[in-house]
Amino acid sequence: MEVTEATFEQDVVERSRETPVIVDFWAAWCGPCRALTPVLEQEVERRGGEVILAKVDVDANPGISAAYRVQGIPAVKGFRDGRVVTEFVGARAPAAVASFVDELLAPPRVSLLTEELRASGELPGVLSALEDGDSELALDRLLDEIPDSSPEGRDRLREVAVAVFHDLGHDDPVTVAYRRRLATALY
């Protein structure tokens, strides 16, 4: 589906709360864009409605391109839950596009992590905060664990924090603040 500045919020951001949406930022004059389009279309079709493909002409919609920091095309961004969760720039081989879609459709890392913590019984305070949807409290509790942890334990704490950061998104203020705090505490 073609998306414009007027329809982007509804067709991509809001729709991604129900079904993941891949946005292909392209231009008619772009050769790599023309090469990537059928690869994206085929992969989306192969998924039978699990994911939607939206196309944004960067020349006709410069506001969206600027808002999502598109500096080179083709730029492909995967939206889930109203935000970008994975992306790439440039033409890709079919196998790489399939991997990209697999990543977009995979359960969020923090969901898998929550299941692991539940099964192992480790970090009960962190698990409780994650189950309550309180990422900031979970990160505070992770930071509290660091001083008394072994090197292997610190690696596990870092892994858990990175999963939370990934779930929140790269630009989320909590991610930005806690990434610095985590680095300071670990190193």
Instruction: Write out the DSSP string of 80-138.
Output: ETTEEEEEEES---HHHHHHHHHHHHSPPHHHHHHHHHHHH---HHHHHHHHTT-HHHH
Rounded-to-integer distance, Cα 156 and Cα 153, Å: 5
Whether 21 is catalytic: no
Whether 91 is catalytic: no
Q: How far is CA 166 from the centre of its chain?
A: 7
**Active-site residue among 3, 21, 23, 33?**
33
> Does the N-terminal peptide bond of residue 173 adopt cis geometry, omega within 30 degrees of 0?
no
**Active-site residue among 12, 21, 23, 30?**
30
Distances in Å between the Cα of 143 and the Cα atoms of 126, 131, 138, 156 are 10, 18, 9, 12
Q: Is 39 exposed, middle or buried, given 0-12, 13-18 or 19+ CB atoms closer than 10 A? A: middle
| Residues with catalytic roles | 30, 33
